[in-house]
Chain A
Amino acid sequence: MTPETLRTLLGGVPENGWFAEAEARVRADPDAIGQLFARAGRMLGRRPLPDHPSWTAGQAGRVLLLLALTGEPLEGRAPEGAASTVTVRGRVAELYWRGDPAERLAVLHALEHLGLGEAGVPLIEDALRTNDKRLVAAALGPCAALLDDAVWRQGVVKCVFMEVPLSVVDRLGERADQPLAEMLGGLARERAAAGRRMPGDALALLNRQSLAKGWKAKEG
């Protein structure tokens, strides 16, 4: 979801006035975000947005409040006293660590647009360690570009264990590699031994990887 889309969606909810005020407050005083970020859920609404059932107005608002922290130029003009990247990093990390799951999800969704680099990694890794499917899925979204390959593969295999559909994994086809195929192959053998099935999407991925390997072997 691009910030523009989120803004458009939010424009359609009746509580949009609250958001406009909250965003202006965060731009003027970044310290205000702690309270507003927590309140956004109930102030903007916790029901799914029409046509975007995985999003709520509250979550859209939270992501946009985070973006307001970066002092993005308003109409091409950087606001005076725009926060340095270092401060933004600290604030975003604090909002994650002090957040409830919905707040943490908003941080994960915002990371791809925040440009905080390595500073986002501990947050994504934390989400991957949880047993909350929503957080694990978000950690493998676009923000997973920051993860090194070994951590990313563990995340993908964890999805298979948790029955999280692999469609949540950003750039899966592009990033899936031989070591991942081997991990999935091992899991498939364990499952077979236990008389249990692999989820269809994991099998499909495994087959694609094996096929690709076969082609490479032929070409080589």
Chain B
Amino acid sequence: MRVFDPHIHMTSRTTDDYRRMAAAGVRSVVEPAFWLGQPRTNPGSFGDYFDSLLGWEPYRASQYGVRHHATLALNPKEANDPRCKGVLDLLPRYLEKDGVVAVGEIGYDSMTPAEDEAFAAQLDLAREFGLPALVHTPHRDKAAGTRRTLDVVAASGIEPGRVAVDHLNEVTVAVVKDSGCWTGFSIYPETKMSPPRMVAILQEYGIERVLVNSAADWGHSDPLLTVATGEAMLDAGFSADDVDKVLWRNPIEFYAQSGRLDLSELPEPEATFAGSSVKRGGS
């Protein structure tokens, strides 16, 4: 099984995770910029964070044979802090960078006017820089939040096929599917979505324009739940090719729209077993 995790916050994970992921077949990841748990109070903190997502973290990943790309944005939660508004002015120079494959995570947290403004402005940036957009849907009032998200996406004029709406569930999948946007699912140990529920959704809605991610971060989460979902798909009768489409080809198709995805010379999974690629990935 080869796996591309289209949404995982590796900055918050350990090298043991990289080793386990590589050994289980996770060969490529996309790390969206998001909230770090501790609020930031100035744009400079975001600049350093973005630098790390384009510098240190991809380098760290490469030592374990994992390819790392990023999506950058001012996240909806911190868009509410006026001290962080300057991040929107920082973004253009970062969105030029090679390692950036989308604008994200953008979208809603509490659906405030400040979030409206940051969301719309960043969808415009996505269009301007020829990047897809990764859109987070709120945990609270999710159904209403998802509908409002789709209205804002439609109003922005961005092509729906260049937008992934993430953290969906049984209640929100249909409306996103109908919009033409990509449907994203975060598989969590307890909340949000589990591998068996994910399989049921795939059975009902099919495997086109679906992204399955672990969204693993600093909270209770598990970077191997993408792999577990692939196994649950096989157990439910999906073919190995179906699994490959959902866990590998789909995320590539979505992020390749940036024109920047670089999957050249990815080592074969065997070569990365037990971290033996550490030397190869070096200088």
Contact = CB atoms under 8 A, between A and B. Distances in A.
A133 B98 contact: no
A41 B51 CA distance: 17
Contacts of A101: 54-55, 58-59
Given A133-B282, A134-B283, A164-B283, A34 B93 contact: yes
B161 interface: no
Q: Is the interface of A mostly helix, strand, loop or mixed?
A: helix
Contacts of A65: none
Nearest to A98: B93
Nearest to A164: B283
Interface string B59-89: 1000000000000000000000000000000
A129 interface: no
Contacts of B54: 100-101
Nearest to B278: A163
A191 interface: no
Interface string A85-107: 00000000000001011100000
A132 interface: yes
Given A100-B54, A100-B55, A42 B283 contact: no
Interface string B173-200: 0000000000000000000000000000
A168 interface: yes
Interface stretch (B104-112, B202-210, B233-241, B257-265): B257-265
Contact of A38 (B55, B97, B264): B97
Given A100-B55, A131-B56, A35 B96 contact: yes
A98 B58 CA distance: 17
Given A46-B262, A46-B264, A164-B283, A132 B59 contact: yes
A189 interface: no
A42 B259 contact: yes
B32 interface: no
B145 interface: no
A164 to B, nearest CB: 6
A39 B96 contact: yes
A100 B93 contact: no
Interface string B259-278: 11010110000000000000
A46 B98 contact: yes
Contact of B56 (A38, A132, A165): A132
Interface residues of A, number: 22
Interface in A38-61: 38-39, 41-42, 46-47
Nearest to A103: B97
B132 interface: no
Contacts of A163: 279, 282
Contact of B283 (A38, A41, A133): A133
A100 B94 CA distance: 9
A89 to B, nearest CB: 20
Nearest to A58: B98
B93 A102 contact: no
B99 interface: yes
A137 interface: yes
Contacts of B59: 101, 131-132, 134
Contacts of B259: 42
Contacts of B51: 100
A131 B264 CA distance: 24
B264 A47 contact: yes
B260 A42 contact: yes
B96 A41 contact: no
Nearest to A40: B98
Interface of B: 51, 54-56, 58-59, 93, 96-99, 259-260, 262, 264-265, 279, 282-283
13 contacts: A34-B96, A38-B96, A42-B260, A46-B98, A47-B264, A100-B55, A100-B98, A101-B55, A101-B59, A132-B56, A163-B282, A164-B283, A165-B283
